[in-house]
Chain A
């Protein structure tokens, strides 16, 4: 049992194989090994949500998952979701309402918000706040962020496909 381990992870659709330190968490793996710096590190203890990524399609704290634990799994970051257009409406609404502000928490906000949108269920503002409560914005500009998410949700639910 070595303090390094070989991992194969599909990141943003691309299979990568690396030998990494066992103690390396997923965000350091993404940022240092793959130079995907869209995922941010805030508190590094699972509180702030800046490091949010998708692991097998679910949002997780990137700082609370070891690279080794992601072996054989699929990881998507803000870069991947952005490139394939999955965040287009959210990004436009964030820009329109200046919800990004300093931008540090924004990748995590966008990823948590897209999990909320994927449920495709009507939610009140309070429910949206509760869903997003694991993501900190230290500019404290939550109002614009929640408003942007509520707007995209309302727009999606109003589309004819959603009846």
Chain B
């Protein structure tokens, strides 16, 4: 279908964009790379009066190191993350995940800020941001605030952003020596949204797992740490003595809804398979 009628403007600075968004209220929608918004418009799932095109705002682009963090501008495109040597060295989880985001043409346009703001529960980047314990920096006309990723995603396609606020930056802690990571995803076709996926980070103390932050996607309502899995894994050695620990924890953490072709129980089973793959990858990292 064709998108419904809307007006369009292209502010030349962040301040101008924030002013327009604040004045226009809920009828104005920011447009970044457009790879989630334009399909929604073409399918008429969204009918804004005004698109505020922030896609070319240079001040929101780029990847930089700031101490132990990487600062990623909200308008950094997926292809730039994929090709970044910094990301490969400092954020191997994100480097691995980004290749699973869409297809080449989508990655050439889509942005990390757009993906987080859209908050699709089957998307890779929200899960990675939570697993990495990142921070979302939002700006509104009243100023900036920092939102911990674990509190940013509040439901399917819902975030803690307030009306008139934009994501301007994502801060992700660089990998610490010895930190374990794993990314695993099952989808019908490479590049499609996940049926089930997992972004996982864990620390190690005394050869035991500590601070395991496992974040599932595709089989949950939003990107959030799987708390029962995290507690079940705390203090465990790899390989696990009791693999049923995982199954029990997933019963608590995941309650996937049925979707065409996928029953809830199937998705939970796939989440378990992915968890075991992730733990196997972490075990290999521990012995390196």
Contacts and interface: CB of A to CB of B under 8 A. Distances in A.
B130 to A, nearest CB: 25
Contacts of B104: 59, 112, 115, 131, 134
Contacts of B9: 1
A22 interface: yes
Secondary structure of the A contact surface, majority rule: mixed
Contacts of B263: none
Interface size class of A (residues with CB under 8 A): 20 to 34
A144 interface: no
A46 B103 CA distance: 10
A64 B109 contact: yes
Interface size class of B (residues with CB under 8 A): 20 to 34
Contact of B109 (A23, A45, A60): A60
B7 A134 contact: no
* Most B-side CB within 10 Å, residue of A68, A134, A135: A134
Contacts of A130: 190-191
Given A21-B5, A45-B42, A61 B191 contact: no
A52 B55 contact: no
Nearest to B20: A1
Contacts of B10: 68, 71
Contact of B7 (A3, A46, A52, A65): A3
Interface of B: 1-10, 31, 34-35, 38-39, 41-43, 50-51, 53, 55, 79, 102-106, 108-109, 189-191
